[in-house]
């Protein structure tokens, strides 16, 4: 009986995590298609490039937020903080499994935050790289 | 064991009654501003800072702000048109000067009828309420900015701005 309920629980859990991972995969697939369209030599996303995008200090954006880490913090698994002092949930998928599952939300914040940090919108490749990095975190 | 449970239960009940009475006393004063109840507004206007209660600004201020979200105090807070419309409707209906909604007009004392102030923290009433806060307080690291109400008003998310 106990084994059965444990099995059922595990099945439900797997089903649940599949439900959460699927939209994230869809979002990545959409960025892949877009990246290919933007650059014929595109050969897949890179978590290492994503990490550099995340941690580097950029110029071109706002002086008080030169890096993604200005708000999201150095530690991807810890909470970040907005300039107004509000706490931001961690960005690492391992500790925030519901993240990057709503395409409109993801797009909205990439648009806002890339302008804020880089002074321009991010390319599809940059977005995919960044998401690839967060998925490894 | 039993008497202990009973006294805990009595304590909890008394506390609940006290909380209700406190809530009644505070509604209608400058200490209570009804928190945002619209989930969309809470979500869209509550990610960078707390979702400020609509009763803290007049309707015309919210209308102006909602028309300029792409440059919102130097940040891009823009949303799609349908979202903006729903948020504007909510904020305007619950604004400090909206008829039938609480009595928040006193909060706007000193604001000219033609002005659409964008900062709560520049309203004459707000400035008055905070004139005794020492300049050192505002520069404390956890505070970051005057707009970080929650740093000092721990119950601000629930609408309470009493002296903590």
pLDDT category at B5 given cuts 50, 70, 90 is low
Give tens-digit pLDDT for B100-127: 655 677 899 999 999 999 999 999 999 9
Q: pLDDT value at position A112?
A: 95
Q: How many domains does chain A have?
A: 1
Smallest CA–CA distance, residue A2 to chain B, in Å, is: 33
pLDDT over 90 at B57, yes or no: yes
Is B164 contained in some domain? no
How much is the pTM? 0.86
Q: Which domain holds residue B1?
A: 1-32
Q: Chains A and B: how many Cβ contacts under 8 Å?
A: 37
In angstroms, how far is the first alpha carbon of chain B from the final one?
36
Task: Specify the pairing of strand A80-81 against strand A87-88.
Answer: antiparallel
Mark whether B43 and B106 lie in a shared domain: yes
Residue B163 inside a domain? The answer is no
Total domains in the fold of chain B: 2
Is residue B11 domain-shared with residue B92, that is, in the same domain? Answer: no
Neighbouring residues of B61: CB distance < 8 A, sequence distance ≥ 6: B95, B116, B117, B118
| Residue B63 within a domain | yes
Tell me whether residue B162 is in a domain: no
3-state DSSP assignment of residue B32:
strand
- Whether residue B64 sits in one domain with residue B13: no
Same domain as B1, residue B74: no
- Whole-number Å distance between alpha carbons of A115 and B99: 40
- B10 and B84 belong to one structural domain: no
Residues of A in contact with B148 (CB under 8 A): 84-86
Look at residue B102 in the predicted model and tell me its pLDDT. 57
pLDDT at position B13: 47
Token representation of residue A66 = 């030169």
Q: What is the pLDDT of residue B20?
A: 41
CA distance B145 to chain A (A): 6
Q: What is the three-class DSSP state of B48?
A: coil
Average pLDDT, chain B: 84
pLDDT at B160: 93
Residues B25 and B98 in one domain: no
CB-based contact, B71 to chain A, within 8 Å: no
Q: Decide if B73 is inside a domain.
A: yes
Reported as a pLDDT band with limits 50, 70 and 90, residue B22 is very low
ipTM over 0.95? The verdict is no
Instruction: Answer for the pair A58, A68: CB distance below 8 angstroms, yes or no.
Output: no
3-state class (DSSP) for residue B58: coil
Q: Which residues of B touch A82 (CB under 8 A)?
A: 47-49
CB contact under 8 A, A85 and B143: yes
Is the residue at B27 inside a domain? yes
Q: Does residue B8 lie within any of the structural domains?
A: yes
CATH number of the domain residue A65 falls in: 1.10.760.10
Q: Is B62 inside any structural domain?
A: yes
The C-alpha atoms of residue A19 and residue A7 are separated, in whole angstroms, by 18
Using one digit for the tens of pLDDT, what is the confidence trace for B87-103? 999 999 999 998 765 56
Domain that holds residue A37: 2-135
Q: Which positions in chain A have a beta carbon within 8 angstroms of at least one beta carbon in chain B?
A: 62, 81-86, 108, 111-112, 115-116
The structure tokens 């967060």 sit at A134
Q: What is the pLDDT of residue A131?
A: 97
Distance CA A59, CA A64 (A): 11
What percent of chain B lies above the pLDDT cut of 90?
Answer: 62
**For chain B, where are the alpha helices, taking DSSP H only?**
2-26, 39-44, 59-67, 81-93, 124-129, 135-138, 149-152
Block means of pLDDT (10 residues each) for chain A, 137 residues, are 47 46 89 94 96 95 93 97 95 96 96 95 97 96
Give the pLDDT of residue B143: 84
Lowest mean pLDDT among A57-61, A114-118, B8-12, B57-61: B8-12
Whole-number Å distance between alpha carbons of B62 and B58: 7
- For A114, the closest chain B residue by CA position comes to B76
The answer to whether the CB atoms of A86 and B48 lie below 8 A apart is yes
CA distance A61 to A71: 14
Q: Produce one character per residue of B121-144: b if its CB has 16 or more CB atoms within 10 Å, e if not.
A: eebebbeeeeeeeeeeeeeeeebb
A contacts of B143 (beta carbons < 8 Å): 85
Q: Residues B12, B83: one domain? A: no
Same domain, B104 and B54: yes
Q: Do residues B122 and B151 both lie within one domain? A: yes
- Reading the block at residue B135, the tokens are 């300049």
- CA dist B134 and B137 (Å) reads 5
Same domain for B3 and B51: no
Contact at CB, B49 and A116, closer than 8 angstroms: no
Bridge partners (DSSP) of residue B43 are none
């Amino acid at each position: 009986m106990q084994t059965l309920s444990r099995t059922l629980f595990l099945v439900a859990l797997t089903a649940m995590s599949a439900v959460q991972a699927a939209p994230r995969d869809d979002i990545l697939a959409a960025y892949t298609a877009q990246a290919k369209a933007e650059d014929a030599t595109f050969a897949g996303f890179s978590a290492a490039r994503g990490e550099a995008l995340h941690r580097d200090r950029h110029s071109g954006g706002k002086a008080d937020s030169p890096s993604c880490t200005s708000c999201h913090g150095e530690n991807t698994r810890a909470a970040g903080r907005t300039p107004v002092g509000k706490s931001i949930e961690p960005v690492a998928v391992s500790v925030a499994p519901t993240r990057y599952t709503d395409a409109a939300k993801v797009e909205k914040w990439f648009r806002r935050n890339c302008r804020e940090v880089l002074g321009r919108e991010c390319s599809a490749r940059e977005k995919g790289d960044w998401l690839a990095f967060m998925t490894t975190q | 064991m039993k008497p202990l449970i009973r006294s805990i239960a009595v304590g909890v009940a008394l506390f609940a009654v006290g909380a209700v009475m406190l809530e009644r006393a505070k509604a209608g004063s400058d200490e209570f501003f009804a928190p945002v109840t619209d989930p969309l507004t809470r979500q869209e206007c509550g990610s960078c800072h707390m979702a400020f209660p609509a009763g803290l600004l007049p309707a015309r201020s919210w209308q102006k702000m909602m028309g300029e979200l792409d440059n919102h105090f130097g940040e891009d807070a823009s949303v799609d048109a349908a979202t903006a419309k729903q948020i504007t409707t909510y904020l305007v209906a619950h604004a400090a000067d909206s008829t039938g909604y609480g009595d928040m007009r006193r909060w706007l004392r000193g604001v000219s009828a033609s002005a659409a102030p964008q900062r709560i923290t520049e309203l004459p009433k707000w400035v008055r309420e905070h004139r005794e806060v020492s300049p050192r307080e505002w520069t404390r690291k956890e505070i970051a900015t005057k707009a970080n109400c929650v740093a000092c008003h721990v119950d601000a998310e629930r609408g309470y701005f009493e002296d903590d």
